[in-house]
Structure 1
Amino acid sequence: MSNPEIEAALALALERWEKMFPVEDERAKLASWDPPHFVPGLGLVAAFSLFEARTNRGPSGELIVVPLARMGEPAAALDELAATLEGLRSRGVASQLDAPLEATVGLAPARYTEGMFATDELGARRRAEALASMNARFEAVATRMKEVYGLRLPRYLATFAAFWRSLDDMERQGMSHLGRSPGGIMIWFEDGGLERKTRGRLDPRLECRFRADPPELVTVMWGDSDGLHHGLWYDDPADPPTCIAHNYARDSAETWRDSEPTPLAVLAARARELISSPDEEEPAPLQVYAALAAIEWFEEADRKALAEDPPAERWLEADRIPTLGTFGPALPPGAGSIRVGSPDERVKAWKTQPPRVQKWIESAKRDCAEGRPAAALTFGLDLHWLDKEEYRDAALELLVMAYEKLGRRAHAETVKVHYAHRDLRSVGVFLRPGEEDGAP
């Protein structure tokens, strides 16, 4: 089937779709929020939802609007659907709330079959070109990362950037269902990204840096709820990242370690989970299968890139003292320890026992000066996450002295920048293309 034939069918469906929906009465509504899209082996497919106005409950699913065999005559198929919808409008939508959706609309369900989204020659060329382009851009982005953060950029970020660059419309819709998109330093992989300026000449390290983010976390991916963001976790600035971590900034603002080693692997796990454990009433959309097929094409390149920049073995099994809000940075041998209780016990003390915790702070400073920064780092991160004005200066002092004693000066510098601008109204500091800097 020719691409012009597909494009003509899609254009006609787009033209007619908004006029056909919604179909509703006082009790219920039939909607199709987005126009149909082409699915290999099926034809034009669209998502439909029939729901009661009061409870928002009712059947939903993906149905074949124009079967593959009728792609040469899409107008006739769309006319038939329009007539069915008109009849439904006359009968009343609410009468169909308990009926199968496909029977109500008179369309066949769209179901995934193995190999449906296998990458064809054109898609493979598109992905290979994106991978070559982002690999070629990697060294310039890595140089910028070193200049700005003082950190090593892992090669697998080029693979993540290539994956995103290669997506077609349907795969991008699948990523929308997964609720993930590039963020933070990934801006430097965009066309013209390295030339992007910041608002008011703010430090680029403030991009996607939320109030409770520890300096070890550098954002590379946005989530879709509660300020979720994923980032690279650097235990030591001299080494590649140890892992991927995530933080829900507008929820508890705690940072958790991801079980997967790269951003692309995080996406793959999310897509497979959604497909294998779908909601009984709303299975994974076909776009998610399309996105997973795109992810899988890049997995081998991602594994090779990870092999080039693996996490330092010394930090994978190193001692960690969990802090309030994080799983704890890795500490080298001889860094000392803390002589107080668990995070749960400490949070009560920080909030209700000022004289006691002041002794902790002074003791941690003495230990740090003597070459044992564990307590200073632990307490500094505790207070950073608590974000209480009365502890702001103490948190900054403890963190800077601990990171400098550990030789992690890049983290110390990030902390200084963060505290100087911690009250910014937005974590988006880069100007959009064409945007004028209105900052004073």
Structure 2
Amino acid sequence: MIPYGKQSISDEDINAVVEVLRSDFLTQGPCVPEFERAVASYCGANYAVAVNSATSALHVACLALGVGAGDLVWTSPITFVASANCALYCGAEVDFVDIDPSTYNMCVSSLAEKLEHAQNNGRLPKVVIPVHLSGQSCEMAEIHALSVKYGFRTIEDASHAIGGSYQGAKIGSCRFSDITVFSFHPVKIITTGEGGMAVTNDPELVKRMARLRSHGITRYPSEMTRPPDGSWYYEQIELGFNYRMTDIQAALGLSQMQRLDQFVIQRKAIAQRYDELLRDTAIVRPFQYPNVYSALHLYIVRLPSGVLKTSHREVFERMRADGIGVNLHYIPVYRQPYYERMGFKPENFPQAERYYAEAITLPIYPGLTSEQQDLVVRRLLTPSGYQTIF
């Protein structure tokens, strides 16, 4: 099976993990803060908080921004459910903004229109979570301008996007947002096995997120309600969680950071080759804005309705049967039964619906060979006479 994505683990990665296993620290040791500093420095941000998943990072980011009961959070419908679930964990409500038909990211014009209606109805969002699908940044300057106008806070869900850039700055600089969240799941650009990180330029936000990841506990006297009883003293000052990243994970992440730019360059080369192989076909290839450097976590194509002699589903299932692990990123969140019960209607998101009917994610990862890529394209184009329609 050729998977749609997978990790790349080197001997250096293995040695870094083994070194921690032989050390005195397996959980909260020196590698975690070192990894945080490395990511923050790479992105051009002031602070970072490492956690056990991007889902946890989204959750503590929402809490740090004060999301709670009665609040409203907006995100994209074309994302993993975690981008919406994080708001529900806080007791808030969720709504969705339809996608741009070219980038599949949150549509800025749809966001502006929805915000105007929400202002008229007295129901503006507290937080908006744009999702950098496939590693391409949303139009963050425009979203930031809307945040200033309408007063919402912004969390960039950059789970796909570490290593990318926008308007010449690394994704994660938080130039146009309050917090940016990364994922280090094995299929992402770099991996810690499982893990995530939230970066910010706000010293108060980083303090709160760091406290929330560890049971709401502080060891800083300046945050305590009374003088410490001794050097052993700590206080739980709010309800937090056990969202900590281990030193084992952080060591792997630190090692992977050494190859981050190389990983993105390799993905870029694979994507460019797909572009060439599919150039003279009716298949819709990914669109890239010139001011965006995508991390290319995913290579998503669309099979336009009415072009193929078979259905979107048949193409997907046939490729899977041929040993090619294509995927679909993502089922619109509002289609999930849990969200359907909230009353969301597919007809309110026409671009997301068209996308869902046509999208297929092709394999892309460092280590994918030209021969494997050729096989993917041949299976996509030629079985059952497909070549006659392109």
Larger-Rg structure: 1
Relative to its length, the structure with more helix (as a share) is 1
- TM-score of the two chains, using structure 2 as the length reference: 0.25
Higher relative contact order (CA 8 A, sep 6+): 2
